[in-house]
Amino acid sequence: MSDALVQARDLRKRFGAFEAVRGIDVDVARGEVFGFLGPNGAGKSSTMRMIACVSPRSGGSLQVLGMDPGSDGPRIRARIGVVPQLDNLDTELSVRENLEIYGRYFGLSRRRVRAKAAELLEFAQLTERAEDPVEPLSGGMKRRLTIARSLVNDPELLLLDEPTTGLDPQARHLLWDRLYRLKREGVTQIVTTHYMDEAEQLCDRLVVMDDGLIVAEGSPVELIERYSTREVLELRFLPEHRPAAGELAGLVERVEELPDRFLLYTADGERAQAEVARSGLRPLSALVRRSSLEDVFLRLTGRSLVD
Amino acid sequence: MAEVTAAVVPAPSASGRVPGRAGGIGIVVEHHWRWYRRNWRATVVSSVLQPLLFLLAFGVGFGALVSGSGRVEVATGGVGYLVWLAPALLAMSAVQSAAFESTYPVLSGFKWQRVYHAMAAGPLSAAQIGLGHLTWIALKMFASGAVYVIVIAVFGGVTGPGVAVSLVAATFTGTAVAALVMAFAATVENEGSAFTGLFRFVVIPMTLFSGTFFPVDRLPAVVRPLAWVSPLWHGTELARSAALGRWQPLAAAGHVAFLLVLLVIGAVLVARQFRRRLTP
Amino acid sequence: MSAPSAVPDVPLAPRLLPAGSYAGRARMLLLRSATASRRTWLAFVSGFFEPIFYLLAMGQGLGSLVGELPGPGGASLSYAAFIAPGLLAASAMNGAVFDSTYNVFFKLRYARLYDAMLATPLGPIDIALGEIGWALLRGGLYATGFLSVMAAFGLIASPWALLALPAALVVAFAFGAIGMAATSFMRSWQDFDLVTLAVLPMFLFATTFYPLSVYPRWLQLVVECLPLYHAVELMRALTTGAVHLGLLSHLGYFAVMIAVGVVLASRRLDALLLK
């Protein structure tokens, strides 16, 4: 058995005439947290569904846990956990029943699911809400319950599709903490996200997807080093003072023009700011920050990630 | 950081105004009307076709089975079964659509589509939102009832202009029921079994035991008092006496008074429950 | 973490079906439905009362306008004894159609419950069998209750009536399978008017409340094509004891409905859920 838990070669997914995934190669090693980063419609969710064995591939090869999703779907699904993009908790059941019944779908014994549910309620900090219905729970609680549910079969591989979309900052941090704990326990994770900070926080390694293709691959630090500068100077102007992009181009390595601001890529942001001032431009505000994956994405695709 | 130099512009002046008591209700009715204009087809089945099928099945089909036996004439006081049944079906279909329109759509307004919350964000009061929806339901009931009267006439179930009063009586009964159901629906958080229970334990027995298909005196004496508390029985009596021209002033006044009391209680509860839920 | 012993033993027979669509665990859906119905017990119990309200009101009230009617064997029947088997058939239809349309549509499109189940070893066939199985279990309980009420009111004339219970299950299975297949084609709640449009006329016109002889001949032919008509005929023959070999033709009708419904429903579910 190869060391890769997931191995895809020239993997493709077509819906009618539209090709959502256009031939990607992916290797996910045991124990790592692997990310698919890209805007909505990049092909991340389609790829996840193929790995989860609920969407037949249209071309190429795919191995999950050394098996073929096309013929071994149930065997693979028995050993993975899935956190879907939208919560699909069973609203007719209580919090605890959601965990117990779900465990029964995996063929676990009554005794086993009862013990496991208690353990997972602790993990998700939902023990006090165990007997409540699901619907009144907050978004963060529902998300934690969905993650707890995906762990009921002690999966070797956990698939998380947009795990923190729509959550407030506090709930996101709590969730990231839980995912970090799982990583330390050795659970391999595949995460899709369109949040840069989430990818930087969670992923050991990631691929950037755009339009059904992988456009870059590496660790967050590697990607930033390869595709961006150390620092970025962000400038905003009043409409009447806004210069043409060409006026800024000579000052730094590279300039990106966005609807509301300019991004100036440079190794030394402070110095660039001084030069802007010297050239007589009058920005409304100026901010120096470190480069992030957002900048990598902008560089690779010419588009902003979150619209 | 560069200096911030904000341009000086005049402060915008808001154009919103607070509507009067009735004006607010009118705005809410207009909202429902705009939605309905685009989606009216969806309600044709429940508001017109369903009562038509009942008319055919019982007025025509069952009527053919029992005609000429002499038993029916005794029960109806001499008129044909279809003529006797038609005004009662008018009341029954008003009550059925009242019950339906004031359950799921109301819960949806609070919970799924949250239209009520959107309205409450403006200057409309909670009571205007609730009573506006109730008014809309009443108008719609009247309109589909009018269509139903034409259908009944086509099948020979109308004997005189009194049916216009039947239509008013049916709408009045339906509105009283809608108000009470709406006040209940406003307290429901989770549809679960609340509405199913309401339909199966209240609405269906009400349609079966209120003298629509047969006179109430055909039921065992112990069950008959149930009809007296049923708004549909009072509405059926009114609609039927109007259509057949058999007025008994004292009884009619009693029926109207009973329904009026229910309507007032219902409206007060609607205003209260909407206020509780929209302005916690 | 180590691999759990949760790899399903796929039984032999379903190997004929597409790989991965059946894990042999449909009974887990019964467990889920039973657990869920504890929370909505009122709705569950109310299903038992609806046909009984009809029987009491129509049997007593309308019956006073009708008197006696000729039954299937020629002997005359009280009106209550005439409509009771019709109501039994209609309630088998109504329950199965409700479960397989509204409930399945909600779980399929809104709660996305089946998506959650497919993330486990369960496949579309487990889901279809589990949901139809629950509808049958529930329908069987209601039919048992209704038959007991009929017996208590003296509306059962023959021991053949015992077979009305399995017959009700066959009827429910047929309507459930077709209902589930139809649901897989529904796009929005508005399409459910079509369900009402199919079910309500059958309830009202398929000889539940009066005999076929009321209609002109051409209309009789139309009514004889309706599935509920066959269900009512079957039930009425069994509860009155007018049993003959011709009844097997009704069963044949339902066998075809079941076959078409199950094949269509599982194919469509496969296509909808595993895209």
In a domain, A307, yes or no: no
Q: Among A77, A83, A80, A81, which residue's Cα sits nearest to residue A143?
A: A83
The answer to whether the CB of B92 falls within 8 A of the CB of B236 is yes
Say yes or no: A147 and A286 in one domain. no
Which residues on adjacent β-strands are paired with residue C69?
C77
Cβ–Cβ gap C61/B204 under 8 Å: no
**Which has the minimum average pLDDT: A55-59, B68-72, B158-162?**
B68-72
C-alpha to C-alpha distances, B90 to B51, B178, B200, B236, B244, nearest whole angstrom = 8, 15, 20, 8, 14
Listed residues A163, A198, A219: the one ending a domain: A219
In this prediction, residue A2 carries a pLDDT of 54
In angstroms, the first-to-last Cα distance of chain B is 45
In Å, how far are A166, B199, C202, C233 from C208, measured between CA atoms? 53, 22, 9, 9
Instruction: Tell whether C5 is within 8 A of chain B (Cβ).
Output: no
Domain range for B248? 22-30+44-62+76-278
B-chain CB neighbours of C44 within 8 Å are: 193
Contact between B46 and C211 using a beta-carbon 8 Å cutoff:
no
Helices (H) and strands (E) in chain C, counts: 12, 2
Give pLDDT, residue B70: 82
pLDDT at B190 over 80: no
CATH number, residue A49: 3.40.50.300
- Is the pLDDT confidence value at B240 over 50? yes
Q: In sequence order, which residues have a C-beta less than 8 Å from that of residue B243 and are 6 or more positions away?
A: B83, B86, B87, B158, B159, B160, B162, B163, B165, B166
Residues of B with CB under 8 A from a CB of C: 41-42, 44-46, 49-50, 53-54, 56-58, 61-62, 64-66, 69, 71-72, 75, 81, 192-194, 196-197, 200-201, 204-205, 208-209, 213-215, 218-220
Structure tokens at B240: 């039927």
**Under 8 Å between Cβ of C127 and C269:** yes
A236 with A99, same domain?
no
Q: Inspect the interface and report whether the beta carbons of A284 and B2 lie closer than 8 Å.
A: yes
Counting Cα atoms < 13 Å in the Cβ hemisphere of B15 gives 0
Residue B111's CB is within 10 A of a number of other CB atoms, namely 16
Given this model, what pLDDT does residue C3 score?
Answer: 40
* Domain co-membership, A92 together with A190: yes
Residues A239 and A261 in one domain: yes
Structural domain span for residue A277: 229-290
pLDDT of residue C10: 44
Conformation bin of residue A30: beta by default, left when phi > 0, alpha when psi is -120 to 50:
beta
Give the pLDDT confidence score for residue C207 in this predicted structure: 93
Distance CA C95, CA C87 (A): 12
pLDDT surpasses 70 at A305: no
> Has residue B254 been placed in a domain?
yes
- A235 and A206 housed in the same domain: no
Which chain C residue has the Cα nearest residue A71?
Answer: C19
Residue A290, beta-bridge partner list? A231
Q: Is B58 domain-assigned?
A: yes
Residue C13 pLDDT = 40
Indicate whether A148 and A254 sit together in one domain: no
Tell me, yes or no, whether A77 and A144 share the same domain. Answer: yes
A214 with A279, same domain?
A: no
Inter-residue contact A90 to A101 (CB < 8 Å): yes
Report strand pairing: A213-218 vs A205-210: antiparallel
Residue B35 lies in a domain: no
Q: Check C57 against B208: CB less than 8 A apart.
A: yes
Count of other CB atoms within 10 angstroms of residue A171: 17
Which residues sit opposite C68 in a β-bridge? C78
Pairing state between β A33-37 and C68-70: unpaired
ipTM exceeding the 0.90 mark? no
- Give C208 or A194, the one with higher predicted confidence: C208
**Binary contact (A73, C123; C-beta < 8 A):** yes
Any idea which residue has 């129509």 for tokens?
A: C58
Q: What is the pLDDT of residues A238-286, one digit of tens each?
A: 988 888 888 888 888 888 888 888 999 999 999 999 988 888 888 999 9
What's the rounded Cα separation, in Å, for the pair C92 and C38? Answer: 22
Residue B205 has pLDDT above 50, yes or no: yes
**pLDDT of res. C269:** 86
Is A303 within a domain? no
Q: What is the pLDDT of residue B67?
A: 83
Residue B260 CA to residue C148 CA, distance in Å, equals 42
Each residue of B101-118: pLDDT tens digit? 999 899 989 988 888 998
Residue B238 located in a structural domain = yes
pLDDT in tens, chain C (275 residues): 334 434 444 444 444 455 667 788 889 999 999 999 888 888 888 888 999 999 999 999 999 999 888 888 778 899 999 999 999 999 999 989 988 998 899 898 888 899 999 999 998 888 988 998 998 998 888 999 999 999 999 999 899 999 999 999 999 999 999 999 999 999 887 788 889 889 999 999 999 999 999 999 999 999 999 999 999 999 999 999 999 999 999 999 999 999 999 889 888 888 888 88
Mind giving me the DSSP string for A202-237?
H-SEEEEEETTEEEEEE-HHHHHHHHS-SEEEEEE-
Domain chopping of chain C, boundaries: 21-273
HSE-CB of A2 using CA atoms within 13 angstroms: 13
CA atoms C230, C231, C234, C235: torsion sign: negative
Q: Does some domain include residue B2?
A: no
pLDDT at C19: 60
Query: For residue A23, what are the contacts with CB-CB under 8 A and spacing of at least 6?
Result: A10, A11, A12, A59, A60, A213
Whether residues A200 and A67 share a domain: the answer is: yes
pLDDT at A287: 93
Please tell me whether residues A136 and A273 are part of one structural domain: no
* Shared-domain flag, residues A204 and A261: no
**How many CB atoms neighbour CB A300 within 10 A?**
16
- Does B10 reside within a domain? no
pLDDT digits (tens, 9 = 90+) for B5-40: 455 677 888 888 888 888 888 888 888 888 888 777
Q: CA quadruple A215, A218, A223, A226: dihedral positive or negative? A: negative
Beta bridge partners of A286: A235
Q: Are strands A18-29 and A80-83 parallel, antiparallel or unpaired?
A: unpaired
Instruction: Give yes or no: residues A29 and A129 share one domain.
Output: yes
Rounded to an integer, the average pLDDT of B179-208 is 90
Whether the CB of C9 is below 8 Å from some CB of chain B: the reply is no
**Pair C157, C239: CB distance under 8 Å:** yes
Identify the contact set of chain A against chain C, taking CB-CB distances under 8 A. 15, 52-56, 70-75, 77-79, 81-82, 84, 86, 88-94, 97, 101-102, 104-108, 133, 150, 153-156, 185-187
Distance from CA of A127 to the nearest CA of C (A): 20
pLDDT score, position C7? 43
In this structure, the number of other CB atoms found within 10 A of the CB of residue A40 comes to 11
| Number of independent structural domains in chain B | 1
The radius of gyration computed from the CA coordinates of chain B, to the nearest angstrom, equals 23
Domains contained in chain A, number? 2
Per-residue pLDDT of A71-100, as tens digits, reads 888 999 999 999 998 889 999 899 999 999
Q: Is the pLDDT of residue A121 over 90?
A: yes
Work out the minimum CA distance from C39 to partner chain B, whole angstroms. Answer: 8
CA distance B123 to chain C (A): 32
Say if B9 falls within a structural domain.
no
Residue A36 pairs with which residues in a beta bridge?
Answer: A192, A207
Contact C40 B192 (CB under 8 A): yes
CATH number at residue A238: 3.30.70.980
